[in-house]
Amino acid sequence: MALNIPKNKTPIAEQKPEERSHNFKEVVLGYTLEEAITEANRCLQCPTHPCVSGCPVNIDIPGFILALRNNDLSESIKILKSYNNLPAVCGRVCPQESQCEGKCTVGLMKEHEPVAIGKLERFVADWAASHEGVEEPPKKVEVNKGKVAVIGAGPSGLTVAADLAKKGYKVTIFEALHAPGGVLMYGIPEFRLPKTIVEREVKAIEELGVDVETDVVVGKTITIEEIREEYDAIYIGTGAGTPRFMNIPGTNLNGVYSASEFLTRINLMHAYEFPKYDTPIRIGKRVVVVGAGNVAMDASRSALRLGAEKSMIVYRRSEKEMPARIEEYHHALEEGIEFHWLTNPVEYIGDENGNVKAVKCIKMQLGEPDASGRRRPVPIEGSEFVIEADMVIEAIGQTANKVLLSTFPELKLNKRGYIEADPETGATSVEGVYAGGDIVTGAATVILAMGAGKKSAKAIDEYITSKKKA
């Protein structure tokens, strides 16, 4: 097949690394309409469309791209929104390389990059939001099918709420923090996902008739029993919830953060705008981030933007095992983040005032594969060395938050302490109670959480409908 399409993705405008590493504005600036159409033309519209099966919510990718190519943005956004309530978010934060783009036929051809599906999704969503009339207002539906409570206004909760509202349910989301959005608000930084975009997508969901009640910690502010009395079904999407620490000596020194705290201060609380905003953050000169997932990239790049002279990542495995999204890794490299592979901290060393001043590390080597299928890192005896650092951010993952779970003993948990839920429906051990997202799977991605929400919305609808018939 002699195909006459450009081998590479249509280049996209980005802030220059030297410039962006000093501000919190979005790194990727997005396509123009022309560029987007050019990129849309790289899509073969192949009959097998493997991209769709790579998408956790099975978006009709060729469909929205074709509409875009025909300059029919209304149709394009309509297709997107029928599968995905948060396209502007997913276009920005999905790991496309291991999902849709990873399966793209064009990308499988020699020397060809896949179609920039994520960038096109983002383009269509942004275009529709900034051009009045492109997107049809939501259809008015009669709200008469029942009442559903959603716990947690993160990606999975918002998805369930939106889907059920469209079907005619009265949905209330209870959110513990003062703003909806979950990890999109407190976790993912402004330079990757501007908060105005999250607010815009949440507003669109509220316009479907969904009520969002902030400042409600379920299990504390109201009990699960009270909710069960009032609602026909419950969806729990509270997120993974509680940071893990290395638990090595010096963990409680000043200047040692969990990535959750560091990023929450910056993103949700706007500490990077202190003192205009009240919440403070320490400014590290030499910052060590432990871990190499997306959260670690976000933390190290945020530290740089706050004013760090040097921002380093230490990771106990090698570059190959790094779990971060490839685009974030590239951006981090471009911005000058220093990577120390096969390195693990063993102690944080403090000064006489209780501030961290150095990280004692040990060199690692890869041994036999472990349960995750990746080769297990083992310390090399006697290889300890010291990195000077006045700030440490641990980004080594999370465990289940117990605040709600401890008040709901009937709910069956799995070995790891997360909620046991049917992967196809989200049904839990308690009738009428569904769960999905990180509180079921442990820390995963935004789109997987949304996928779980989609399935649960369907199952909740079926459950309530059949119960009301009976």
Partner 1 sequence: MFEILKKKKIVEKEYDMWIKAPRVASHAKPGQFVVVRTSDKGERIPLTIADYDRENGNIRLIFQTVGKTTYEMAKLEVGDKLADVVGPLGTPSEVKKHGTVLMIGGGVGIAALFPIIRELKNLGNKVITILGGRTSELVIMKDECAKYSDELIITTDDGSEGIKGVVTDAMKMLNERGEKIDYAWAIGPTIMMKFAALTAKDLGIPIWVSLNPIMVDGTGMCGACRVTVNGNIRFACVDGPEFDGHGVAWDELMTRLKQYKDQEKISLEKYLNEVGEM
**92 vs 265, which CB is nearer to partner 1?**
265
**According to CB under 8 A, which residues from 56 to 115 bind partner 1?**
none
**66 vs 403, which CB is nearer to partner 1?**
403
Full DSSP string of 364-406: EEEEEE-TTSSEEEEE-TT--EEEE-SEEEE---EEE-HHHHT
- 280 contributes a contact to partner 1 by CB under 8 A: yes
- 402 contributes a contact to partner 1 by CB under 8 A: yes
Q: How far is the CB of 213 from partner 1 (least distance, A)?
A: 9
Total residues contacting partner 1 by CB under 8 A comes to 41
Cα end-to-end distance, the chain, whole Å = 58
Q: Which run of H or E residues covers position 177?
A: none
What CA–CA distance (Å, rounded) separates 298 from 335? 12
**According to CB under 8 A, which residues from 319 to 358 bind partner 1?**
353-354
448 φ/ψ sector (left φ>0, alpha ψ -120 to 50, else beta): alpha
Q: How far is the CB of 278 from partner 1 (least distance, A)?
A: 4
**Which residues are paired to 365 by β-bridges?**
378
Q: How far is the CB of 307 from partner 1 (least distance, A)?
A: 14
Binding range to partner 1, per CB under 8 A, among 130-138, 141-149, 213-221, 453-461 = 213-221
What CA–CA distance (Å, rounded) separates 401 from 403? 6
* Opening angle at CA 439, ends 258 and 345, nearest 5: 25
Side chain identity at residue 375, one-letter code:
R
- Draw the binding track, 185-204, toward partner 1 (x: CB under 8 A; -: no contact): -x------------------
Q: How far is the CB of 191 from partner 1 (least distance, A)?
A: 20
- 282 contributes a contact to partner 1 by CB under 8 A: yes
Q: How far is the CB of 152 from partner 1 (least distance, A)?
A: 11
Q: Are 468 and 146 in contact (CB under 8 A)?
A: yes
- 177 contributes a contact to partner 1 by CB under 8 A: yes
**Which residues are paired to 289 by β-bridges?**
313, 393
Q: Which of 71, 82, 196, 214: binder of partner 1 (CB under 8 A)?
A: 214
Q: How many helices (H) and strands (E) does the chain have?
A: 19, 18
Tell me the three state secondary structure of residue 152.
coil
- 407 contributes a contact to partner 1 by CB under 8 A: no
Q: How far is the CB of 261 from partner 1 (least distance, A)?
A: 4
- 277 contributes a contact to partner 1 by CB under 8 A: yes
What CA–CA distance (Å, rounded) separates 333 from 327? 10
- 278 contributes a contact to partner 1 by CB under 8 A: yes
Cβ neighbours of 129 (radius 10 Å): 19
Q: How far is the CB of 217 from partner 1 (least distance, A)?
A: 6
What CA–CA distance (Å, rounded) separates 50 from 54? 7
- What contacts 130, CB < 8 A, 6 or more positions away? none
**143 vs 217, which CB is nearer to partner 1?**
217
- 275 contributes a contact to partner 1 by CB under 8 A: yes
Binding range to partner 1, per CB under 8 A, among 96-104, 373-381, 396-404, 422-430 = 396-404
3-state percent helix, strand, coil for the chain, nearest multiple of 5: 35, 20, 45
- Count the residues in the chain: 470
- Draw the binding track, 223-262, toward partner 1 (x: CB under 8 A; -: no contact): x-----------------xxx-x-x---xx-x--xx-xx-
**44 vs 217, which CB is nearer to partner 1?**
217
- 393 contributes a contact to partner 1 by CB under 8 A: no
Q: Are 289 and 322 in contact (CB under 8 A)?
A: no
Q: How far is the CB of 14 from partner 1 (least distance, A)?
A: 30
What CA–CA distance (Å, rounded) separates 422 from 209? 28
| Binding positions for partner 1, rule: CB under 8 A | 176-178, 186, 214-217, 220-223, 241-243, 245, 247, 251-252, 254, 257-258, 260-261, 264-265, 269-270, 274-280, 282, 353-354, 401-403
